[in-house]
């Protein structure tokens, strides 16, 4: 569903949030669906998991944010905390743009896309024993501003890797920047 | 119009907790969730209004911030509890109603 929304909105829109940025802090609350990525002819079935995650972002450059992310699965089997970067992509996935490009693209479309990466420590509950492991997560986010300049609906698609396994994560949530 | 708002506020404050019966708001933890969420949403609404944002923007911002804080609290807890989130939501509504009623 998230991918569908992303594809539908892919045509004809440009960055909104990245052009008007005077904000410092952003907060996001996201509900995620996690699916195991299978390679080759693996026949083992895996259950879909759900998780709740929050992200706190501090903008230190016009298009860059330092983010602190924390996630916990709804079955309480895994929780993470990590640190990373989020970078706005002016227009849809317009990589390599300059500040001048941002200024030229001051069409007020209420959509912003960004890429992000964070890494940290994951506490995995394996049969009652808590095992600590490193994790990485990277992906793309699309924020749709809900007729105002503070709050947005955020959707994301990302790849999450922990203990040698990779998962596809898609999520929807609510965010605000101020 | 103002008196109508006060009546609605009173109804929500009195009947919302009662509507959940003994299962939810008899617990001290849930009461705390409700109270803290109400304070956060009312406070953030007042903050956004003081920053000259529109009423709608302030409401939306307040909802996002209260949701964030409520979710963060659940992540800090050893296990996720959906009833805590319900209490947060009701508290958020109450706090917003306070802000709107008194026209902050």
Instruction: Verify whether the Cβ–Cβ distance A72 to B80 is below 8 Å.
Output: yes
Asked whether the whole model's pTM tops 0.95, one would answer no
Please enumerate residues of A whose Cβ is less than 8 A from a Cβ of B: 27-29, 52-54, 56, 70-72, 74, 76, 79, 146-151, 174-176, 178
Task: Give CA torsion, residues A71, A146, A148, A150, to 10 deg.
Answer: 0
Is the pLDDT at A90 greater than 70, yes or no?
no
pLDDT-wise least confident of A44-58, A138-152, B1-15, B46-60: B1-15
ipTM over 0.85: no
Tens digits of residue pLDDT in B27-41: 788 888 889 999 999
Of the candidates A126, A135, A143, A133, the one whose C-alpha atom is nearest the C-alpha of residue A159 is A135
Mutate to test the interface with B, among A52, A82, A150, A154 (most CBs of B within 10 A): A150
CA distance B10 to chain A (A): 28
How distant is the alpha carbon of residue A154 from its chain centre?
Answer: 8
Contact A151 B57 (CB under 8 A): yes
Residue B50 contacts A, CB cutoff 8 Å: no
CATH number belonging to domain A27-35+47-177: 2.40.160.20
Domain boundaries, chain B: 28-102
Q: Where are the domains of chain A?
A: 27-35+47-177
- B78 to chain A, any CB pair closer than 8 A? The answer is yes
pLDDT tens figures, A121-166: 999 888 888 889 999 999 999 888 877 878 899 999 999 998 888 8
Q: Is B64 within 8 Å of chain A by CB? A: yes
Residue from the list A71, A149, A176 with its beta carbon closest to the beta carbon of B64: A176
- The whole-angstrom separation of Cα A1 and Cα A20 is 29
Q: Band of the pLDDT at A89, cuts 50, 70, 90?
A: confident
> So what's the pLDDT on residue A37?
79
Question: What 3-state DSSP class applies to B52?
Answer: coil
């Amino acid at each position: 569903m998230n991918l569908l929304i992303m594809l539908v909105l892919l045509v004809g829109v440009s960055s909104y949030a990245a052009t008007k940025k005077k904000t410092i802090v952003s907060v996001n609350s996201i509900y995620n669906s996690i699916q195991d990525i299978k390679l080759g002819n693996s026949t083992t079935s895996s259950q879909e998991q759900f998780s709740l995650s929050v992200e706190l972002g501090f903008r230190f450059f016009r298009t860059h944010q330092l983010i602190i992310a924390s996630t916990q699965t709804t079955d309480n089997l895994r929780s993470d905390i990590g640190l990373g970067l989020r970078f706005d992509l002016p227009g849809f996935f317009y990589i390599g743009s300059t500040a001048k490009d941002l200024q030229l693209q001051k069409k007020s479309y209420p959509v912003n896309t960004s890429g992000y990466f964070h890494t940290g420590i994951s506490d995995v509950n394996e049969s009652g024993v808590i095992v600590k492991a490193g994790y990485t997560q990277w992906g793309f986010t699309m924020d749709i501003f809900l007729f105002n300049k503070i709050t947005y609906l955020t959707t994301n698609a990302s790849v999450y890797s922990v203990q040698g396994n990779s998962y596809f994560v898609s999520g929807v949530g609510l965010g605000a920047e101020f | 119009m103002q008196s109508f708002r006060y009546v609605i506020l009173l109804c929500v404050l009195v009947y919302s907790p009662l509507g959940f019966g003994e299962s939810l708001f008899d617990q001290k933890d849930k009461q705390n969730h409700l109270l803290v969420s109400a304070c956060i949403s009312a406070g953030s609404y007042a903050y956004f209004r003081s920053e000259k944002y529109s009423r709608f923007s302030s409401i939306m911002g307040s909802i996002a911030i209260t949701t964030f804080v409520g979710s963060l609290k659940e992540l800090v807890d050893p296990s996720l509890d959906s009833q805590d989130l319900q209490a947060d939501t009701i508290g958020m509504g109450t706090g917003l109603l306070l802000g709107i009623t008194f026209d902050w």
